[in-house]
Amino acid sequence: MIGIALKMLMGDPVKYFGLVFGIGFSTLLMSQQASIFVGLLTWGANPVLDVRQAQIWVMDPRVKQPDQGQPISDQSLYRVRSVDGVAWAVPYARSAATVKTMQGNIAAVTLVGVDNQSMVGLPEENLTNSMAAIRGRNAAILDGNTTHLIWADGRDPIGEAVEINDNRIVVTGLTSSLTNFSGLPTLYMKYSDAIAITPPERNKLSFVLVEVKPGIEPEALAKRITEVTGLKALTRQQFAAAGTQFIIENTGIPISFGAAIGLGILVAVVITALTLAMFVAENLKNFGALKAIGVTNRQILVMVLSQALLVGFIGYGIGIGGTAAFLYFGQADPSLRGFKALGEIVGGSALLVMVIVLGSAYVSVRKVLKLDPAIVFRG
């Protein structure tokens, strides 16, 4: 019976390919937009996720996300170090800056100052070379994925000099940091150099990075630091989540991508339901003939569901393959770097497609189940 059902389906190539295309396009739209949406949300967490050496971030109580640094006093560092359970605590500066190249270009960057001794705060990729590269005075390393935003001619930035607030900085190395929501290049320097070249302010310390002593829960220590110092202390996971939540609550990204994903679902439902309904309606006499020779309603239902599953699997495969290709080749574009189709998106899209095609098939086949086999013998 299943073989007959598939022959009936492929015997009408227009509707067959229409179903496959509709489901494939809908899957592509849903999974691609969902992947980009999740990727954008992670940008809010990436400045925290880039710093893998610290388990707790300490900050001004008004700070809501990593790029919203509100400077705290230098004394805060020593107060945090005095809290029982802290293995070590180091300073971390993060602020916006403007660089001027020797060629006359101007670009906005995120300036990061990491602890002079431990270098905690540097991305872990090529970490050893990065640590050596910024030991010198006014030396900096740059995120190599964003050099084109400063030097559009594609030159090798190593050895290039730039100015920040009339201070000469030399790029001595490259690293690879996760893309942040601002999309700006990230320039890393020693903490002492970074605060020396920024505009004079009473406080320049953005965050205190903390490691927990063995046997102590990070959440418990974060709470203790808050109670003792009056500062906000969050675990790495909590602060990363806060960065993501800030994007959700303060941008139109969820609405925009939610509308696109909803459109994909709507297209899948409409195309699948209408095309399957038309296909079943045009084959009523064939189904009637099958019922007349003894095929049961259960077998008819299995036939229609098998037709729906076939186009669902093929369409889903085409759509998810298109998404995978888009994200794979998109890695060459810095604006798409790090985006990927998570297992939850792949599985969720598959489940949604199967629900749509099976639901549409069941609605369409109801007319066949009530069909009188005698229709075959009528004019």
**Per-residue pLDDT at 284:** 72
Measured CA to CA, the distance from residue 358 to residue 352 in angstroms comes to: 10
Each residue's pLDDT tens digit, 220-263: 999 999 999 999 999 999 999 999 999 999 888 889 888 888 88
Whether the per-residue pLDDT at 378 is higher than 70: the answer is no
Each residue's pLDDT tens digit, 289-341: 777 777 787 887 888 888 888 888 999 999 999 999 999 888 777 777 778 88
Tell which residue, 267, 268, 264, 354, has the closest CA to residue 36. Answer: 264
**What confidence tier does 375 reach under pLDDT thresholds 50, 70, 90?**
low
pTM for this one? Answer: 0.80
Measured CA to CA, the distance from residue 39 to residue 368 in angstroms comes to: 45
Measured CA to CA, the distance from residue 327 to residue 313 in angstroms comes to: 21
Measured CA to CA, the distance from residue 301 to residue 307 in angstroms comes to: 10
**Per-residue pLDDT at 333:** 76
- Give the CA angle between residues 55, 61, 62 to the nearest 5°: 120
What six digits make up the tokens of 166?
A: 């009339």
Tell which residue, 111, 74, 70, has the closest CA to residue 91. Answer: 74
Beta-bridged to residue 187, according to DSSP, are: 111, 142
Beta-bridged to residue 59, according to DSSP, are: 232
Each residue's pLDDT tens digit, 28-77: 988 998 898 888 888 889 999 989 889 999 999 999 988 877 899 999 99
Structural contact between residues 169 and 157, judged by C-beta atoms closer than 8 angstroms: no
CB count within 10 Å of CB 367 equals 13
**282-303 exposure pattern, b = at least 16 Cβ within 10 A, e = fewer:** ebeeebbebbeeebeeeebbeb
Q: How far is CA 24 from CA 87, 203, 318, in A?
A: 53, 55, 5
Tell which residue, 131, 129, 111, has the closest CA to residue 120. Answer: 131
Strands 207-212, 167-175: pairing kind: unpaired
Percent of the chain with pLDDT over 90: 38
Half-sphere exposure of 276 (CA within 13 A, CB side): 33
**Per-residue pLDDT at 261:** 85
Each residue's pLDDT tens digit, 171-228: 998 888 888 888 889 999 999 999 999 888 888 999 999 999 999 999 999 999 999 9
Measured CA to CA, the distance from residue 140 to residue 125 in angstroms comes to: 16
Find all residues with CB under 8 Å of 107, minimum gap 6, and list them.
98, 99, 101, 149, 150, 185
**Per-residue pLDDT at 103:** 87
Beta-bridged to residue 97, according to DSSP, are: 109
**What confidence tier does 1 reach under pLDDT thresholds 50, 70, 90?**
low
